[in-house]
Chains A and B, each alone.
Chain A
Amino acid sequence: MNVASYFDTMSYGPSSESDAQARQWLAGNKQQFGHFIDGGFTKHAAKSCFDVSEPASGKLLAKVSLGKKADVDAAVRAARKAQADWAALSGHARARKLYALARMIQRHARLIAVLEALDNGKPIRETRDIDIPLAARHFYHHAGWAQLSESQFPDQTPVGVVGQIIPWNFPFLMLAWKIAPALALGNTVILKPAEYTPLTALLFAELAKAAGLPDGVLNVVTGDGSTGALLVEHGGVDKIAFTGSTAVGKEIRKVTAGSGKSLTLELGGKSPFIVFDDADLDAAVEGVVDAIWFNQGEVCCAGSRILVQEGIAEDFHARLRRRMSKLRVGAPLDKSIDMGAVVAPDQLKRIKGMVEAGVKAGAEIFQPEIEMPDSGCFYPPTLLSNVQPTAAVATDEIFGPVVVSMTFRTPDEAIQLANHTRYGLAGSVWSESINQALDAAVQLDAGVVWINTTNMLDAAVGFGGKKESGFGREGGREGCYDYLKPAVWSKLPARETAPKANAPVTGYDIKPLDRTAKLFIGGKQARPDGNYSREILSPKGRVIGEVGEGNRKDIRNAVEAARGAKSWGTRTAHNRAQILFYLGENLSVREREFADRLREMTGVSAAKAQAEVEASISRLFTYASWADKYDGHIHLPPLRGAALAVPEALGVVGAVCPPEAPLLGMVSLIAPLMATGNRVIAIPSEPHPLSGTDFYSVLETSDVPGGVLNIVTGDSLDLAKVLSAHNDVDAVWAFGSPELSKEVEEHSVGNLKRTFVDYGRQIDWLDPKSGEGELFLRRATELKNIWIPYGE
């Protein structure tokens, strides 16, 4: 090609970013790397290493050490040794270090961008214009949180030593998302980059050292899944933060169950991309480009499922196909491409296989006739239309440049189709009507919703999923809490195991008039399914009553009732507040009776019993008060617009109440859950359940709609297991023995329900500092961030 031929064809010539400096850096390291532990690189493990290659060409980039037990041990030791001093620094001192990291990233931005493109295969445009600037912004933003940590999080302490496992799709950006908040809030880190893409993490470690980050604060151990497993299982790690597949996330949940490790999971998705008939269709088409042909579709929050209103579907698809024919696929360092290489041959094979199966299942495939590179891991932009929901391509994450498309008739149906998935990471809504768009945004079950935009990410706005897309948030104030724990909770003593009451000693001590405590399900008193009862003993071993022996079917019924009470969440907060206040009022009417019951069951003094009832009334008032005040934030990402961080109810929540404080313990769990719009299945204190069964008559007089609070008595551990394993329960709170915590976490894996447990630590329920407050509200809700760019 010469000037004249370009003039005749008006085609794009090659425009390649130089890789000289990146290659020089690799060569300077002899293309061999050790781990970065305690401020220095370990010797390259020539006998135990793996190849890292360039997806675009298959050529070797470097040999990287495979982290073994000794490496992980050394890294955890270094992190532990450094943690106390790091946490003891003033917020300002940590802010200086994070600021230095942000500036350092900016100074070396191009080197990092080029290395990232080589290692991952993604276009230099994306690493240069998106990944690396966003990473720098993440450090800036969190330098700010470090600076403000003392004033903004006065009652919190760092979690401690954090193991972080990141994926290959955004190696450097995910590194920033993980490291910046952890360090800002006083934690130290062992980072395990993905096997395919460890190079920018190693470069970052080198640069961080030069920027003055103290030894041991950041450690990088490279390796594969086995290295990650070592980190997950390590007893010296206080928290695991993982981004990756849902399958691995579930495995991590299982392995860490009961260990007391804090856990955040950012997993897969099949995010809907909804196009209403009043959308700017050209804008929406461009949105699809950003949704699924960004990073070759290897994006967990990719809008991979187009739902387009039937009347405009043909027009929309025609515009989309035309747009696809303009996409350019090529070498990652070519500055005139839209898509680069898929990360590895295995991934390419998986994409091909899924698309073939999709076509076999009846999908109509469109791939534009565009130039494709002759070799390397490339896959063309692909549209599968007329996909039926029964096809795997419609439900499973493809993680490639493949979008599926379906139609809907009405807004209701759009939401139904959008939410009909195990995932709940993100969603994108396209409409020029503010009513239509906001209504859909609120109804989508997703952690992030973009209105008339997609794949927008920013340090100030929490990112994370619902349902099987994981839990925890990264970015913003909400993300900070995932690297903090309440100071008061870190000093909780182990719960004293109440001595098992002996067998009834001297017969019955039942009141003159016989009362039958039933279960309370769907607003009605219900006999237990099995129709067995269990005896409730006084401290002296006398039988003071009997309660129903709830079983799995009672749980099933209670969950169904709770599921049916959906409107609780859409009532006004004022309405929920009124009902909680009213509950307090009605409990106060029966103060004496409830106090007597506590004395009878637990043998506490009259004064203590009285105090517990009064505290329970106060707690109901606390959460009645919060109901219309726990109202989220408006984040300020860099755009003309805003991101609304809206706390949303988890849905149906099991609350396994602690054995102690039979009334206050239960109220402390159900009130924050109810205040925020959840529906609850409460398992009252196993040894002292009568306050719980007495409570349903208070519910009945307080206008609590049926199904909002259900009460099932019985064996706490057994019922907790059933609740935790129930795939239509969204969360379980469980307070009791260490074994209870472990079982609940372990059984939660099926649908990755949120768990809130105490690992057998005794909470002082009477102390509002540990027994009530925003911690409970945070755990009762999940933030949805709704991005709303505007402008006419």
Chain B
Amino acid sequence: MAFSPTEMFSQEEQRDVVSTAKPENQTPKRGPVEVTSAHEVARNPGMPLDLSVVQAVRVNKSAAERRVASLPGRRSIKADAQAAWLLNAVTCIDLTTLNGDDTQGRVKRLCAKAITPVRPDILAALGMADRRITTGAVCVYHRFVACAVDALAGSGIPVAAVSTGFPAGLTPHELKLKEIEASVADGASEIDIVITREHVLTGNWQALYDEMRDFRKACGDAHVKAILATGDLKTLRNVARASMVCMMAGADFIKTSTGKEAQNATLLVTLIMLRMIRLYQSMTGFKVGYKPAGGISKAKDILVYQSLMKEELGRDWLRPNLFRIGASSLLADIERQLEHHVDGAYSAVKRHPIG
């Protein structure tokens, strides 16, 4: 059955797709373009705020550090497997530009790269020419949503908009809701919201829940990623509790950072957020996605992130409907590694089209 990343996030279209699905197309040939129905994820509807769960959260930092420190030694991904895992990472990238000097030209260039993230000759050499390898999404400020939607037309690549007064998230609540609605109206099918860190730092879980609930509602069919700004929350316990409250309030994804905090995504906060996703799933049955953002720029790093996803949550969380990577320079390093895999010679950034 045909299935694009955009469709993944639209229940309306998914129903269409399911109804017109042809049995012979259900072979598990995967990628952002073709995914079997087995991989569809029921959207997290949220649940009433349960403070007992939030309060019961315990996180031991030293133990968590040991887990992430030993993982790279426990899982090594080499050769063909490595090339495959790197390509998988490409399909999960939210190719991002979030700068004050962004222009339409810049955004169009990024969209072109999103459509063709890896040189076709390299894909062919990897035996992957028949797979439509694109990035998971393009992520921009509201101002460029329409431009990106245009540029990506027909590609099936969704546009994500950062919103709610990104990155500090301190604009008036009503304006935040309006901002979401505006981006959705412009064609964004994913909204990356930022939470009010104050709610977490003061333990005001009800306020965080209410805020997130409103954001989710304003998004409508667009999927909502809750940016926790883990670098501002400081403690792993805060991260864990904020994760849980946002999921209870209906987040489709929980995401680490805006990329603007002093500390962005780390394996350590990833581990804690993944464990909360697992706990939430065991409580409700719903799978929530995860998006680390900022700070992941090396191919080697994303291999470890993916093995952590696989070990802590399972294979399902290695697909773009449950895993995204907020990154801008990671792709360039992956391209170099892929060419090295094909050629055996170390590559250079300039040998791959700029994004």
**Alpha-carbon distance A530/B275, docked complex (angstroms):** 68
Q: Is A641 among interface residues, defined by CB-CB distance under 8 A?
A: yes
**Alpha-carbon distance A214/B87, docked complex (angstroms):** 56
The stretch of B62-70, B100-108, B194-202, B256-264 that contacts the partner chain: B62-70
Report chain B residues within 8 Å CB of A366.
none
Determine if B29 and A3 form an interchain contact, defined as CB atoms under 8 angstroms apart: no
Report chain B residues within 8 Å CB of A164.
none
Determine if B75 and A283 form an interchain contact, defined as CB atoms under 8 angstroms apart: no
Q: Is A256 among interface residues, defined by CB-CB distance under 8 A?
A: no
Q: Is A791 among interface residues, defined by CB-CB distance under 8 A?
A: yes
Determine if A282 and B73 form an interchain contact, defined as CB atoms under 8 angstroms apart: no
**Alpha-carbon distance A335/B83, docked complex (angstroms):** 17
Q: Is A4 among interface residues, defined by CB-CB distance under 8 A?
A: yes
Q: Is B21 among interface residues, defined by CB-CB distance under 8 A?
A: no
Report chain A residues within 8 Å CB of B315.
9-10
Chain A contact residues (Cβ within 8 angstroms of B): what range? 35 or more
Of the candidates B28, B75, B131, B318, the one whose C-beta lies within 8 Å of that of A336 is B75
Q: Is B350 among interface residues, defined by CB-CB distance under 8 A?
A: no
Determine if B83 and A3 form an interchain contact, defined as CB atoms under 8 angstroms apart: yes
Report chain B residues within 8 Å CB of A338.
74
Give chain A nearest CB distance to B235 CB in angstroms: 5
Chain A residue, CB-CB nearest to B310: A10
Of the candidates B58, B83, B306, the one whose C-beta lies within 8 Å of that of A280 is B58
Determine if B84 and A3 form an interchain contact, defined as CB atoms under 8 angstroms apart: yes
Within 213-255 of B, Cβ neighbours of A (below 8 Å) are at 235-237
Of the candidates A3, A11, A432, the one whose C-beta lies within 8 Å of that of B127 is A3
Instruction: Tell me whether A453 and B66 are in contact in the complex, defined as CB-CB below 8 angstroms, given that A3-B128, A278-B58, A281-B58 are known contacts.
Output: yes
Determine if A286 and B67 form an interchain contact, defined as CB atoms under 8 angstroms apart: yes
Report chain B residues within 8 Å CB of A477.
none
Instruction: Tell me whether A280 and B88 are in contact in the complex, defined as CB-CB below 8 angstroms, given that A7-B128, A337-B74 are known contacts.
Output: no
Instruction: Tell me whether A7 and B30 are in contact in the complex, defined as CB-CB below 8 angstroms, given that A452-B63, A640-B62 are known contacts.
Output: yes
Q: Is B38 among interface residues, defined by CB-CB distance under 8 A?
A: no
Of the candidates B61, B76, B131, the one whose C-beta lies within 8 Å of that of A792 is B61
**Alpha-carbon distance A640/B315, docked complex (angstroms):** 34
- 1/0 contact string of A26-52 vs chain B (CB within 8 Å): 000000000000000000000000000
Q: Is B311 among interface residues, defined by CB-CB distance under 8 A?
A: yes
Determine if A791 and B62 form an interchain contact, defined as CB atoms under 8 angstroms apart: yes
Determine if A13 and B77 form an interchain contact, defined as CB atoms under 8 angstroms apart: yes
Determine if A15 and B73 form an interchain contact, defined as CB atoms under 8 angstroms apart: no
Within 270-285 of B, Cβ neighbours of A (below 8 Å) are at 275
Report chain B residues within 8 Å CB of A791.
61-62, 65
Instruction: Tell me whether A790 and B62 are in contact in the complex, defined as CB-CB below 8 angstroms, given that A15-B77, A336-B75 are known contacts.
Output: yes
**Alpha-carbon distance A10/B237, docked complex (angstroms):** 31
**Alpha-carbon distance A14/B78, docked complex (angstroms):** 7
Determine if B235 and A792 form an interchain contact, defined as CB atoms under 8 angstroms apart: yes
Chain B residue, CB-CB nearest to A337: B74
Report chain B residues within 8 Å CB of A290.
66
Instruction: Tell me whether A326 and B311 are in contact in the complex, defined as CB-CB below 8 angstroms, given that A282-B275, A283-B64 are known contacts.
Output: yes
Of the candidates A1, A13, A128, A790, the one whose C-beta lies within 8 Å of that of B73 is A128
Determine if B63 and A280 form an interchain contact, defined as CB atoms under 8 angstroms apart: yes
Give chain B nearest CB distance to A332 CB in angstroms: 13
Q: Is A287 among interface residues, defined by CB-CB distance under 8 A?
A: yes
Q: Is B99 among interface residues, defined by CB-CB distance under 8 A?
A: no
Q: Is A634 among interface residues, defined by CB-CB distance under 8 A?
A: no
Instruction: Tell me whether A8 and B30 are in contact in the complex, defined as CB-CB below 8 angstroms, given that A2-B127, A286-B66, A452-B62 are known contacts.
Output: yes
Q: Is B19 among interface residues, defined by CB-CB distance under 8 A?
A: no
Instruction: Tell me whether A3 and B80 are in contact in the complex, defined as CB-CB below 8 angstroms, given that A8-B28, A10-B85, A12-B75 are known contacts.
Output: yes
Q: Is A364 among interface residues, defined by CB-CB distance under 8 A?
A: no
Chain B residue, CB-CB nearest to A17: B76
Report chain B residues within 8 Å CB of A335.
73, 76, 78
Report chain B residues within 8 Å CB of A532.
none
Q: Is A442 among interface residues, defined by CB-CB distance under 8 A?
A: no
Of the candidates B67, B70, B79, B311, the one whose C-beta lies within 8 Å of that of A13 is B79
Determine if B63 and A7 form an interchain contact, defined as CB atoms under 8 angstroms apart: no
Q: Is A576 among interface residues, defined by CB-CB distance under 8 A?
A: no
Instruction: Tell me whether A4 and B73 are in contact in the complex, defined as CB-CB below 8 angstroms, given that A13-B80, A13-B81, A452-B63 are known contacts.
Output: no
**Alpha-carbon distance A7/B80, docked complex (angstroms):** 9
**Alpha-carbon distance A452/B63, docked complex (angstroms):** 7
Report chain B residues within 8 Å CB of A432.
58, 60
Report chain A residues within 8 Å CB of B61.
791-792
Give chain A nearest CB distance to B317 CB in angstroms: 10
Instruction: Tell me whether A125 and B73 are in contact in the complex, defined as CB-CB below 8 angstroms, given that A8-B29, A281-B58, A791-B61 are known contacts.
Output: yes
Within 57-102 of A, Cβ neighbours of B (below 8 Å) are at none
Determine if A283 and B74 form an interchain contact, defined as CB atoms under 8 angstroms apart: no
Determine if B131 and A1 form an interchain contact, defined as CB atoms under 8 angstroms apart: no
Determine if A452 and B60 form an interchain contact, defined as CB atoms under 8 angstroms apart: yes
Within 27-84 of B, Cβ neighbours of A (below 8 Å) are at 28-31, 58-67, 70, 73-84
Instruction: Tell me whether A13 and B74 are in contact in the complex, defined as CB-CB below 8 angstroms, given that A280-B58, A286-B66, A287-B63 are known contacts.
Output: no
Chain B residue, CB-CB nearest to A281: B58
Q: Is A639 among interface residues, defined by CB-CB distance under 8 A?
A: yes
Q: Is B182 among interface residues, defined by CB-CB distance under 8 A?
A: no
Q: Is B2 among interface residues, defined by CB-CB distance under 8 A?
A: no
Instruction: Tell me whether A12 and B77 are in contact in the complex, defined as CB-CB below 8 angstroms, given that A4-B131, A283-B63, A639-B62 are known contacts.
Output: yes
Give chain B nearest CB distance to A733 CB in angstroms: 40
Q: Is B126 among interface residues, defined by CB-CB distance under 8 A?
A: yes
**Alpha-carbon distance A639/B275, docked complex (angstroms):** 24
Determine if A10 and B63 form an interchain contact, defined as CB atoms under 8 angstroms apart: no
Of the candidates A10, A129, A283, A326, the one whose C-beta lies within 8 Å of that of B60 is A283
Report chain A residues within 8 Å CB of B75.
12, 336
- 1/0 contact string of B299-312 vs chain A (CB within 8 Å): 00000001100110
Q: Is A789 among interface residues, defined by CB-CB distance under 8 A?
A: yes
Report chain B residues within 8 Å CB of A125.
70, 73-74
Report chain B residues within 8 Å CB of A646.
none
Chain A residue, CB-CB nearest to B28: A8
Report chain A residues within 8 Å CB of B28.
8
Instruction: Tell me whether A15 and B78 are in contact in the complex, defined as CB-CB below 8 angstroms, given that A10-B315, A792-B61 are known contacts.
Output: yes
Of the candidates A7, A284, A337, the one whose C-beta lies within 8 Å of that of B87 is A7
**Alpha-carbon distance A6/B75, docked complex (angstroms):** 15
Determine if A1 and B66 form an interchain contact, defined as CB atoms under 8 angstroms apart: no
Report chain A residues within 8 Å CB of B63.
280, 283-284, 286-287, 452-453, 789
Give chain A nearest CB distance to B83 CB in angstroms: 5
Chain A residue, CB-CB nearest to B317: A10
Within 626-658 of A, Cβ neighbours of B (below 8 Å) are at 639-641
Report chain B residues within 8 Å CB of A12.
75-77, 81, 307
**Alpha-carbon distance A10/B89, docked complex (angstroms):** 11
Report chain A residues within 8 Å CB of B77.
12-13, 15, 336
Report chain A residues within 8 Å CB of B236.
792
Chain A residue, CB-CB nearest to B319: A10
Give chain A nearest CB distance to B27 CB in angstroms: 10
Instruction: Tell me whether A7 and B58 are in contact in the complex, defined as CB-CB below 8 angstroms, given that A13-B77, A13-B78, A290-B66 are known contacts.
Output: no
Chain B residue, CB-CB nearest to A338: B74
Chain B residue, CB-CB nearest to A9: B315
Report chain A residues within 8 Å CB of B126.
3-4
- 1/0 contact string of B311-347 vs chain A (CB within 8 Å): 1000100100000000000000000000000000000
Chain B residue, CB-CB nearest to A10: B318
Interface centre among A282, A287, A290, A337 (most CB of B within 10 A): A282
Given A8-B30, A10-B88, A791-B61, 11 more A-B residue pairs with CB atoms under 8 Å apart are: A2-B127, A3-B128, A4-B126, A7-B87, A10-B310, A12-B77, A125-B73, A128-B73, A283-B60, A432-B60, A453-B62
Q: List 14 A-B contacts (CB under 8 A).
A: A1-B81, A3-B80, A4-B84, A6-B81, A7-B30, A10-B315, A128-B73, A280-B59, A284-B63, A286-B66, A326-B311, A335-B73, A453-B66, A789-B62
Top-6 shortest CB links A-B: A13-B81, A6-B84, A283-B63, A335-B76, A789-B62, A15-B76
Which A residues contact B (CB, under 8 angstroms)? 1-15, 125, 128-129, 278-284, 286-287, 290, 326, 328, 335-338, 432, 452-453, 639-641, 789-792
